[in-house]
Amino acid sequence: MGLQAMTYLVVGITFAIYIGIAIWARAGSTKDFYVAGGGVHPVLNGMATGADWMSAASFISMAGLIANMGYGGGLFLMGWTGGYVLLAMLLAPYLRKFGKFTVPSFVADRFYSNGAASVAVICLLTASITYIIGQMTGVGVAFSRFLGVSNDTGIYIGMAIVFMYAVFGGMKGITYTQVAQYCVLILAYTIPAIFISLQLTGNPIPQLGLGSELSGADISLLAKLDQVVTDLGFGKYTTSVPGSALNMFVYTVSLMIGTAGLPHVIVRFFTVPSVAAARSSAGWALVFIAILYTTAPAVAAMAKLNLHATVNKAVMSDGDMYANENSLVYDERPEWMKRWEVTGLLKWEDKNSDGRIQYYNDKTKNQAVADKAAAAGWSGNELTVNADIIVLANPEIALLPNWVIALVAAGGLAAALSTAAGLLLAISSAISHDLLKKIWMPSLSEKGELMAGKIAMAGSIVVAGWLGLNPPGFAAGTVALAFGIAASSIFPVLMMGIFNKKMNKEGAIAGMLAGLFVTLFYVFAHKGLFFIKGTEFLGLIGGANSFFGITPEAFGTIGALVNFAVAYGVSKFTPECPDHIQHMVEDVRTPRGSKLIGGAH
């Protein structure tokens, strides 16, 4: 069976499974719609959380980012994984015990203010909508490449699939669909990695293959990769850190605390029956997430080596990489390159008109490399490879069977759709439950709220699709930007709400607004979207459009510090938090049975 037919078959089967599950698990009550009835088994919830958490960024982009950045790409592994641990240990159990399944509901009760809840809704919508742009873009990329349709058509199909299982099934349908999606995406990620690890090192475990010697050679895979990339003028793969150490640090922290503030992950801890089950679910989720996250560095390194070997035959033979006979003739390029050129994510420009592909770092500061390239007649790097194709193209580069390539397509779509569904539910519940039911229409019946939730979900899908079709000018790096927004606005108010019993509503509101504003201001000023002196001010502090060299995607950490500082400052000059709220916070933090053990009554 041909690749196109096989892809249609595999993707079609997975979509049929998702829709079938949604019909079986359709929501019949608001509890089903918002928290899947609260009766999901911890292991299944752990799988659903893993699928919800591992978005298109994790499946499609992360290995590509590591492949391009080398060692520095580890900040995504540290930030996202560490953030989940932070969420599981510091926030989830307390929020579960508090009993409010949405961030705005928690803020409303903890800070005794509908105004605070409204600000929390604004922060939640800003982070979630920004995040969902990346998911819809990933859907479009996967569909356009593997199903032979346009990017726009791919987004429309993705919208229709999500509509079928999210609107009718709510959290119940989404949860059980995400269990299936986790199975698809993890198989799609690990099976090609196992094949390629066997090909390159003879070791079937990618995590071990990463540190193993290449088959038939006396050199390890990473040492060979270091040798190849440095010979071509790139930084050493195992030690390169792009940007400053400060930027890498704050970027990692921003991803960590942004993870802990993401609303679509927090709600997952309310779909299980108890606090103990929530802790167990968090542990299982970490196991399921770790399977992909520990495989990603191996996928990145092996894909990078295979890509260089495809373009330059000298990579595996230790020949002269600048000899023309070793570079790939464009007209003889493999089929996978032709297929990816159609998407625009892989481009070639013949700068020296020799009909061959030169792939090297033409901006290198290594004069010896520059001299060698010039002596070979090279006139600059001719190949541009988007990081997003590394995972999706990896099995094609390694010439794996068609069914493996088709499975990867299904996995990429599962990753994007599962996270999109979780985000859409968070947006829907913020509108229907937190704004409509809690603030605007308190007398709304359960049936009315359920209908409002479904209408809000449908409307959110339309908005998400439109943003995917017409991404804003600042959409580059939207996933990291979404984490920065969550880090600067949502995470601090959750932490202060749980661990500072004296924090009042005025401090919480001021902190959220300050954190959100300063982060968005920095992003827009950095992108040149403010026609004021903001960009000049930023440039004065740390170079062109930067605050001490910190990139917009990493600025969430600074925004969080501003949030904390403003909240504490305002709380000192405004009325103290009421006593009954302080007692409630103490009770939430007190483990059950501790008073009995201590002899208190």
Give the pLDDT means over successive 10-residue stretches in the chain (601 positions). 79 81 67 61 84 73 81 82 81 77 81 86 83 73 68 78 68 77 86 90 91 86 89 84 79 87 75 77 86 90 88 82 85 86 83 89 84 86 82 79 81 73 74 69 69 76 77 55 85 90 91 91 66 44 57 86 94 90 82 47 43
Contact between residue 464 and residue 136 where contact means Cβ atoms under 8 Å apart: yes
- Is the pTM value of this prediction over 0.85? no
Give exposure, 37-73, as e/b (b: 16+ Cβ within 10 Å).
bbebbbbbbbbbbbbbbbbbbbbbbbbbbbbbbbbbb
Q: Are 254 and 553 in contact (CB under 8 A)?
A: yes
- Residues 301-326 as b/e (b if ≥16 CB within 10 A, e otherwise) read bbbbbbbbbbbbebbbeeeebbeeeb
pLDDT of residue 559: 92
Taking alpha carbons only, the member of 369, 408, 387, 415 closest to residue 304 is 387
∠ CA 143-147-151, nearest 5°, is: 40
| C-alpha–C-alpha distance, residues 159 and 162, integer Å | 5
The CATH fold assigned to 21-37+44-305+397-589 is Sodium/glucose cotransporter (1.20.1730)
The secondary structure element, H or E, covering residue 477 is none
- If you count them, how many residues does the chain have? 601
SS3 for 425? helix
Domain boundaries, the chain: 21-37+44-305+397-589, 324-387
Measured CA to CA, the distance from residue 46 to residue 189 in angstroms comes to 18
Cα Rg of the chain (Å, integer): 25
Given this model, what pLDDT does residue 53 score? 72
List pLDDT tens digits, range 319-367. 788 888 888 888 988 888 888 887 777 888 988 888 999 888 888 888 8
Alpha helices in 99-204 (DSSP H): 103-110, 114-146, 151-162, 170-201
pLDDT of res. 528 = 53
- What pLDDT sits at residue 246? 83
Angstrom CA distances, 243 to 45, 231, 297, 551, stand at 38, 21, 20, 9
Burial class of 379 by CB neighbour count within 10 A (0 to 12, 13 to 18, 19+): middle
Q: DSSP labels for 231-300?
A: HTTPPPTTT---S-HHHHHHHHHHHHHHHHT-HHHHGGGGSSSSHHHHHHHHHHHHHHHHHHHHHHHHHH
Closest CA to 436 of 67, 213, 104: 104
Task: List the Cα angle 416/65/7 in 5-degree steps.
Answer: 40
Question: What pLDDT was estimated at residue 482?
Answer: 79
In whole angstroms, give the CA distance from residue 583 to residue 597. Answer: 20
**pLDDT at residue 541 in the model:** 42
